[in-house]
Structures are given as structure tokens and as C-alpha cells.
A and B are shown apart, each in its own frame.
Chain A
């Protein structure tokens, strides 16, 4: 009886997974094997892996996603550490989460105003005598805005990981004569690795296919796989090619999950081993 009840609870979950995860992915994979004339073919994949344009684009996407991820980690880790030491932690955390409630497009438009030729940044540069610079439509502005948008998704898991650490461990490390640097690298970092990995996964994968930002902030001078997918589905109606790029993205997603996940698994073993000692 209780078993059937349990199964009933699973139904909405299973329906959700099948309808919105498995079915779309299967459809994309299916679509990717058809050309414009609806014939079954492997040509889309052949095109992808022989075209220097698509390979360059893939490399670009990877490169930008990597820079964005590294930048967010560098900013988020100290920020999360700092947040944990504050008095009204939850209030400050809320302030960091707040921007995620605002639509991405609105934030992008706000940055257009800030970075524009007559925006506040250029007015400041003019005021201190450097003169207006081209900020919008550069790699810098694209990476800056993408980093800004992804930061909350990095801070949250790291913050939680730090909050879970028993303060006694840090005190013990200091008592035993470790410097601040040693405490950070030997105690804090290993204990928060899980949070960092979760953050990296939450930031790196979506960054691979950012496409609204590439146009609005990057002025299409920054091209990622997302741009190509959008074009194939909306302009050229070549759904097969668009799906192929989608499949490549999904595979890359799983690869990056596997790479980050495995390392995390190994470390855990070492960690529990240490505890047993």
C-alpha cells in the first residue's frame, strides 16, 4: 500500500522529466539527423566538424565561458568569505540575490546606458581627463556584464559551503600555528570544494550559450554557439543544423559535469579517509 502511494508521488516528477527533459533532448537529437529536405543524413555533423567557422565558434564559446567562470570565482570566493563574517548575513545575502529577480534583458539595457558613449562611465573618464572610450561592444564589456549576471549563482553555493564549516576547525588551524594563507589553502579551500564545483557548473554551462548579451552588449562582435543556434532556428529555418549545434552543446555540458563531478568524488574519498584516521 505504502509502496503504491510512493509511486503515485513519483508520477508528477516522472511526467515532468519525460515531458520537459527527455522528450526535448530526444527530439533535438532526432532533428539533428535531418537536412533541409527532410532526408536522414549525417551531413550536419560532418559540416560542423569540418567547418572552421563552427570550430572557431566552439573555441570562442569555451574561451569566453572559461574567462567568465574564472572571473566569477575570483570575485565570489572572497565575497562569500566576507559575507559569512558579517552580522546580518541573511540581509546581505538577500541583497546579492536581489538582482537575479530582475529580468536579464532589463539588466543588459541598464548596462547599455552605463557603458554608452555618453554613459556614466565615460562621463567619469572624461571628468578625470582620459576622455570617452569605446566600452560597449568590446570583449571587456561582454565579460564584465556576463560576470555580473552570473555572480549570484557562484556566491550562493560557496556561501553555503563556508557556512557549513565548523568554526572550531578554523580556530584549531590557527592555534596549531597555520598562517592565514595556510588556513585558506589547507583548510578552507578543500572543505568548500563542493561549493566551488557546484558554482562552476552553474556558471560555466550557461555561459557557453549566452546569446542575448552577445548582441546587446557585444554588438555581435562576440559570437558564441548560442548566436548560431538562434540564427538556424529563426532565420535560416535549418533546424537540423541548429539541433546539431544543440547536441554538441549538450555533450559538452555532460563532459564538463563529468570532469568536475569526478574530481569532486575522488576528493571526497580522500576526505573521508582522512576523517577515519
Chain B
């Protein structure tokens, strides 16, 4: 009993010591000082050497905190515990945050280099006139195929997925709007349709696709595709670029008839405090040289036209991640459809998942 007690006390003492140490360290790094910037971003979504360069050039200290889903980020900002100065939400979340008054408008007079951003990527429905957000990276929804099993000519359009040849071959990303979305595009409808009949039609078409579907999974798609577990997958270009880096047999296609166009944009949330640092950082990231360096590190597509021009030729001309203007013009950004329609999409998707053939 005595032994147990001393063991217990030792553990408590160790915990207290560690806690004190951590809080000392945190206060030493100083998130209270005026010369800091609290950046709230996705994991591994910026070149760390750029942060060092920014700190050296401007003298601001950057605290980099990460999140792994838009919903998690939204909750943390709603709670307002930490004074995040900049965050990087995706398009539909920006619309939601705007509606909930969680964003501070950008002061255009303090921004330099906004015209570096290509006209295809500004003034989108989720933020008209880009009052609140600056495009950081963009991407698409598309098909990944493994050239060991699939020829390029066999996989150019959404309808190619329905080919009976691909029995039990396709992995779909577990996302109602994306999966119903490509079925809607195939039917010639808008990915933002609110019409229950059109959504139901897209679902009955998906039911016909069911025999070809191997699994409906999330992040694991990356692992499976890299390991040649499945010949085909439908997922986002960001995920695709990671897979392509790890398996040279994989290729990414954006069907020319249309697809989703998504954005991750820099915004200033209500919790922001260090405005000088914020604009210094935004201007730093808008500089073509820095944006190009960041793009090479992250591997996503940059909306910064001048930065794109600085990229190596094979990256810049890669149709997989920079589709031609004709295809880009057919890409659709998701609108916030409201809870009722989102619910409808998810109900239909659930029914598709239940469909057994």
C-alpha cells in the first residue's frame, strides 16, 4: 500500500512539473507579445522555410497551429479561446463563417499584390468581390487511375466509370456532395442543384454504378491507391498529388464535361488581434516568388498567376493539376445549400451506400 501511494505521488509530481515546464515554454514563446502572428492552418500546408524567411524579414514570430477538418477549425474559432490571426478554411466554410459573422473584412488599402491572383479564382459565389478571403490554393475533383490496369483512353469522362469492365474496382471518397455531384454533372445538371428530382435521378444513376464500387472510404484511399489495391478512385486533386508522388503508375484526370472547383482561402477570423503582422504576412504570401516556393513544397495548384509563371515547365503545364481554360470554365464551386438540401443530399447518399446489387 505504501509503495502504491509513493508511486501515485511520484506520477502526480511528474505531471505537475511537466505542466509547469510547458506553460513556462509557452509564455517564453509569447503569444501575448505584439510581435507575433497566430496562423491556424491545415497540417503541412506551408513551406516551413517560408515561415523562417518571414520571421527574419519582418521580425514577427509565427505560431503555427494546425487543424484537420473545416468543422474542427470552425468550432475552435466559434469558441474563441485562442486569438487566431489567420485561418485557411475551404470555400463552403467561408460562406458559413460569413453568415455567422466570424470573419473580419480585408482592408484592401493594406494589401499589395491582389492582382497577382488569376481572374478565374476571385469573385466566386462564396465570397463575392473577395471582401473576406484571399485564395491560397485551389483544386478539383477527379478520377485517379493506375496505368497498370487502366489505359488513359479508357478513363476520360465520368461515364467511363460506369463501364462494366471496372467491376469492383472503384474507390469513392466518402462525401455526399462530391459523389452525387459527379453523377449530376454526368446527367448534365448543376452540382448545386436544389431540385429533389434531379438529386434522386443522380442517385438512381449511382445505384447502377454500385457493382463497380469497391469501397467508400476517406483518407485511406491514399494508402490503398499507393499500394495498387484498386485501379480507380474518385477524390480531390490535393489528395491525388500526394498519391502521384508516391506511386508513378497513378494519373489524375479532371473530366472535361465539368467537376468541382474547390478553394482554400486565407481569412481573418473574429479572434484576430495582430493586424500589422496579418497584413505583413498576407503581402508576403502574395509575392510571386514566395507563392511559387510554397506551391513547389505543398504540391497543390496556386491561384497566383505570377507565381505559376515562375514554376518549372513540367509543373506549370501539367494538365492534371492545371486543366486547360476550357475545362476550368466548366468547373463549379459548391454553394452553401442550407441544412435542408444538404440533408437531402446525405439521405440520398446513404440510400446509395445501402444499395446492394
Same assembly = yes
Could you tell me which A residues sit within 8 Å of B by CB distance? 36, 53, 56-57, 60, 112, 116-118, 134, 136-137, 215-216, 219-221, 223, 227-228, 231-232, 234-238, 241
Alpha-carbon distance between A26 and B293 when the two chains are bound, in angstroms:
54
Query: Which residues on B are within 8 Å of A, measured CB to CB?
Result: 71, 168, 171, 174, 176, 213-218, 220, 223-224, 227-230, 339-340, 342-343, 346-347, 350-351, 353-354
Contact with B346, one of A118, A221, A236 (Cβ below 8 angstroms): A236
Asked if B217 contacts A219 (CB within 8 A), the reply is: yes
User: Is A116's CB under 8 angstroms from B346's CB?
Assistant: no
Candidates B174, B213, B350; contact of A53 at CB < 8 Å: B350
Q: What is the minimal beta-carbon distance from A253 to any residue of chain B, in angstroms?
A: 22
Our pick among B213, B217, B228, B350 for the contact of A231 (Cβ within 8 Å) is B350
What distance in Å separates the Cβ of A106 from its nearest Cβ neighbour in chain B? 14
A97–chain B nearest beta-carbon distance, Å: 22
Q: What is the minimal beta-carbon distance from A48 to any residue of chain B, in angstroms?
A: 12
Q: What A residues does B218 contact at CB under 8 A?
A: 215
Whole-angstrom distance from the CB of B317 to the nearest CB of chain A? 34
Judge whether A117 and B228 touch: CB under 8 Å.
Answer: yes
B214's contact among A36, A216, A219, A236, by CB below 8 Å, is which?
A219
**Contact yes or no, B228 A118, CB < 8 A:** yes
Residues in A whose Cβ lies below 8 Å from that of B217: 215-216, 219-220
C-alpha gap A238/B343 in the complex (Å):
7
Do the beta carbons of B176 and A57 come within 8 Å of each other?
no
Counted as pairs of residues, one from A and one from B, with CB atoms less than 8 Å apart, the total is 71
List the B residue with the shortest CB-CB distance to A56: B354
- Complex CA distance for A53 and B340, rounded to whole angstroms: 18
Whether A220 pairs with B215 at a CB distance below 8 angstroms is yes
Q: Which residues of B contact A57 (CB under 8 A)?
A: 350, 354
**Chain B residues, Cβ within 8 Å of A228:** 350
A236 touches B343 (CB 8 A): yes
With A53-B354, A118-B228 as contacts: A219 and B216 at CB distance below 8 Å: yes
Bound complex: CA of A241 vs CA of B350, how far in Å?
14
Of chain B, the residue at the smallest CB distance from A220 is: B216
Q: How far is the CA of A223 from the CA of B355 in the complex (A)?
A: 10
Closest CB pairs A-B (n = 4): A219-B215, A220-B216, A137-B215, A236-B343
Q: Which residue of A lies closest to B340 (CB)?
A: A36
A112 (CB) vs chain B CBs: closest residue: B220
User: Which residues of A lie under 8 Å from residue B354 when comparing CB positions?
Assistant: 53, 56-57, 60, 223
How distant is the Cα of A220 from the Cα of B340 in the complex, in angstroms? 24
Q: Which residues on the A side are within 8 Å of B71 (C-beta)?
A: 234
- Residues B346 and A235 in contact, CB atoms below 8 Å apart: yes
| A237 engages B216 (CB within 8 Å) | no
Within 8 Å CB of B171, what residues of A? Answer: 219
Which A residue's beta carbon lies closest to that of B354? A223
A137 (CB) vs chain B CBs: closest residue:
B215
For residue B210, which residue of chain A has the nearest CB? A221
Asked whether B227 lies within 8 Å of A116 as measured between CB atoms, the reply is: yes
Question: Given the complex of chains A and B, what is the CA–CA distance between A53 and B217 in angstroms?
Answer: 20
